[in-house]
Structure 1
Amino acid sequence: MTDQIRVFPITITKNDNNSDYPYFVEIPDLNGMTEGSSIADAIKMAEDYIGTASLEDDLPTSNYYLPTNTKNTISTLVRVNISEYKRKHDHKVVKKTITIPNYLNELGKEQGINFSELMTDALKSKLSI
């Protein structure tokens, strides 16, 4: 299955009055805004904004046209692998069936172990996340 890749234009404007996040980012196709501490961070934040928006709503068609620059602005395109973003950030819970020996099931129930929580913690540890 092919990953879904989306491309959107962004505009970055430097704001010298904000020392922590001086790069203001507009994502016109999504009516979105974010900020960055550097140009690279601003682009990364735009990618994250687009990825997060894809978790909540259907995104509009990719737009490859850059907005017209004004003084102190940079326009560029950002590419987001929506499929990969969803794999990494979709925290919805899914039901999985596992098989364990009965004695472990009985001991776990006696101890009040939450098997779903235990499996989630074990997977995070095994996957180093």
Structure 2
Amino acid sequence: MNLTYPAIISHEDDVFYIGFPDIEETIEDCFYVTYGDSFNDAIEMGKEYLILKLEDYENNKKDFPKASLVSDLKNKVKNNQEIVYITMNYEYEKSLIKLAYVKKTLTIPSYLDILAKNKNINFSQVLQNALKKELGLEK
């Protein structure tokens, strides 16, 4: 499920603060929920915060808040602040924070099984590496 929320980034004293006006109770509360040493770092920290807050909504059986329009926020930001949108695949991003493993059954030719066992190859690790490569997730 792809989600997009506006974030407000404030730059003060070489620190980038980030907050989410749709997640916090009031617009004043949203400016300093987390921070980073760079713009990109603040975005990543903000994304993690956003995922955890949305997970709270999910766990409490509440609907996710509706995202505000930039036009609704423009007159509420200060000179050292800017509005950015953070888009993410919520389920995927949540799984990165709470890494859970699932068991999969696999069928391969017997000769591959024999050769792999003789070389003590870890099937799970090989499959994970191949899937990451196929999905473009290699780091």
Same-fold call, TM > 0.5? Answer: yes
Q: Which residue of 2 aligns with 1:5?
A: 3
Letter in 2 for 1:92: A
- TM-score, normalisation: structure 2: 0.56
Structure 1 unmatched runs, 5+: none
Q: Which residue of 1 aligns with 2:76?
A: 68
Structure having the higher helix fraction is 2
2:127 is aligned with 1:104:
no
Q: Percent identity?
A: 25
Letter in 2 for 1:12: I
Structure 2 unmatched runs, 5+: 25-29, 59-63
Q: Distance in 2 between matches of 1:104 and 1:42?
A: 44
Shift of 1:23: 2.1
Q: Report if aligned partners of 2:8, 2:82 keep a CA contact under 8 Å in 1.
A: yes
SS of the counterpart of 1:123?
A: helix
Distance 1:123 1:86, change over 3 A: closer
Q: Which residue of 2 aligns with 1:23?
A: 16
- TM-score, normalisation: structure 1: 0.59
Q: Report if aligned partners of 1:51, 1:82 keep a CA contact under 8 Å in 2.
A: no
Q: Distance in 1 between matches of 2:2 and 2:131?
A: 26
Q: Which residue of 2 aligns with 1:48?
A: 47
Q: Distance in 2 between matches of 1:106 and 1:55?
A: 46
Q: Which residue of 2 aligns with 1:86?
A: 92
Q: Report if aligned partners of 1:7, 1:63 keep a CA contact under 8 Å in 2.
A: yes
Q: Distance in 2 between matches of 1:49 and 1:88?
A: 8
Q: Distance in 2 between matches of 1:55 and 1:86?
A: 13
The alignment covers a number of residue pairs equal to 118
Q: Report if aligned partners of 1:27, 1:46 keep a CA contact under 8 Å in 2.
A: no
Q: Which residue of 2 aligns with 1:113?
A: 121
Q: Structure 1 residues 105-114 or 44-53, which shifts more?
A: 44-53
